[in-house]
Structure 1
Amino acid sequence: MQYAQEVDGRDLLGWWIRQPNQRDRQRTRRPTTLPPPGIRFAFYGRMSTVDFQDRASSCRWQRNYADDLIASHGRVVTEFFDEGVSRRVA
């Protein structure tokens, strides 16, 4: 019960300071794999007319073009695609 009294009492900071330091404990770590080198890119594609274009093929050719463009510089890590958004504002 002394543990609960110390935590609930006025000396919460003192109790926290007396706790064993996490860095002092031996921990085993899993080997990690490093991410591929290079710049991380976000792909943004768009098509303005839903009525005359296919979303899948439009996204695919734009993404392929983007992948070819950045091939020696990095990789795409996230993707955004808008449809029905015109370049011109009324």
Structure 2
Amino acid sequence: MLPMLWAMKSAPVVDAEERSILMALAESAWADGTDAFPSKKTIAQIAVVDPKTVQRRLRTLTARGLIAEGATRRPPRTSLRSTAPGSTTC
């Protein structure tokens, strides 16, 4: 629940499309903001955008430090990052 609340209310997004994508990602994250690994297609369906838009926006969110890829045996997973000082995840 915390990742979703962070994505809805606190994440420093630039527009509604970015917030929708971040919320779609947060929906599948664990309570600490880690282990979010929906496919780009799934994110696109939830956020009602094109999968290419998801790909582009995920790169932007990563570059700005709002999400980060993690190393696992499954496909790369994403962690949501809080922007609070000293905090690395939601």
Q: TM-score, normalised by structure 1?
A: 0.25
Select the structure of larger CA radius of gyration: 1
Q: Whose relative contact order is higher, 1 or 2, with alpha carbons under 8 Å and at least 6 apart?
A: 1
Q: TM-score, normalised by structure 2?
A: 0.25
Higher strand proportion = 1
